[in-house]
A = this chain, B = another copy of it.
């Protein structure tokens, strides 16, 4: 059984190649540029780990892992256009470095290229893999649309928020594991448990992300905290505070949102603590982590095979940075 780091190195060695023709350069150079910005490659490695949970890693698992990473990068290029984001991993986004039409089109061609890799796998699994891949792809689009819809809304309910982060983030982690499992010959029961493991892990991770953006140690977190508060982002903390806060606290939050005073972050954090939403976030993270680990427990393979995934999960949801 290989660790995340080992599999990551193996994946990167295969992925760091040119995925597109040379010409027209104006279309393919931007696509290749974006892939060159790097990333943790968590999703494709999860596909490999889901595969190794049941069998030796098959060549097809690498093809699907590459397809997953191309799909993920396609969504990032298009999300950056929609969010008008100037930077990604500290570098210019595609629409910023080139222009919007080029970013749109190089994203499109990256999605088509993802299907090229899927098309390389053995016939026996292709219907199932495309089925899971497509359902997930549509869910990720749905999550992005719902997230954009939230920006126009006064208030968002907690179940709606959980549904959104599930679609936008968790299902791709879950499906990456499941597709690896399908290629490893896992039965429906094991596939289902692995999927739920990934989904709940993703939810825990996303809520932790909201938490760390507010309460994390900037030195460890790697970026300034409070960014979500400054941007008035509807995070778990804000939504929960608007749900459980007193009417005075809710009023104060509503007024803080309208301001951009220098102590906005500090004041919002005080309200969050007074409402106890920091504690609520930690509890919910713990709850989703627990559900995730229970599903891992229920997968019918020898526990030694589960080690790398359990370690990855612990790393992802117990980081304090």
Contacts of A24 in B (CB 8 A): 142, 145-146, 149
Shortest distance from the beta carbon of A72 to any chain B beta carbon, whole Å: 13
**A27 on the B face (CB < 8 A):** yes
Q: Which of A39-47, A125-133, A242-250, A261-269 contacts B (4 or more CB under 8 A)?
A: A125-133
Chain A 99-131 near chain B by CB (<8 Å), digits 1 or 0:
011101100110111011011000100110011
Asked if A145 and B82 make an inter-chain contact with CB atoms under 8 angstroms apart, the answer reads no
Contacts of A92 in B (CB 8 A): none
- Shortest beta-carbon contacts, A-B, top 9: A82-B101, A27-B145, A119-B130, A109-B141, A112-B137, A123-B123, A26-B149, A116-B134, A112-B134
Cβ contacts A to B, 23 pairs, < 8 Å: A24-B142, A26-B146, A27-B141, A78-B104, A78-B105, A101-B148, A102-B148, A104-B104, A105-B141, A108-B111, A109-B138, A112-B137, A112-B141, A113-B134, A113-B138, A115-B134, A116-B134, A118-B130, A119-B126, A119-B127, A119-B134, A123-B126, A126-B126
A81 interface residue (CB < 8 Å to B): yes
Contact for A138 among B112, B118, B142, CB less than 8 A: B112
Chain B residues contacting A123 (CB-CB under 8 Å) are 123, 126-127
In the assembled complex, the CB of A139 is this many whole angstroms from the nearest CB of chain B, namely: 10
Interface members, chain A 248-307 (any B CB < 8 Å): none
Interface residues of A: mostly helix, strand, loop or mixed?
helix
The reply to whether the CB of A8 lies closer than 8 angstroms to some CB of chain B is: no
A150 → B minimal CB distance (Å):
11
Q: Does A144 contact B (CB under 8 A)?
A: yes
Nearest-CB residue, chain B, relative to A130: B119
- List of B residues within 8 angstroms of A130 by Cβ: 115, 118-119
Are B145 and A102 in touch, CB under 8 angstroms? yes
User: 1/0 per position for A68-102, CB-CB distance to B under 8 A?
Assistant: 00000000001001100000000000000000111
Contact with B along A30-64 (1 / 0, CB 8 A): 00000000000000000000000000000000000
Measured CA separation A236–B143 after assembly (Å): 44
Q: Give every chain B residue within 8 A of A131 (Cβ-Cβ).
A: 119
Query: Do B82 and A144 touch (CB < 8 A)?
Result: no
Among A24, A134, A141, A149, max chain B CB count under 10 A is at A141
Closest B-chain residue to A83, C-beta based? B101
Residues of chain B contacted by A82 (CB below 8 angstroms): 100-101, 104-105
For the complex, give the distance between the alpha carbons of A138 and B107 in Å.
11
Distance in angstroms from A81 CB to nearest chain B CB is: 6
Residues of chain B within 8 A (CB-CB) of A141 are: 27, 105, 108-109, 112
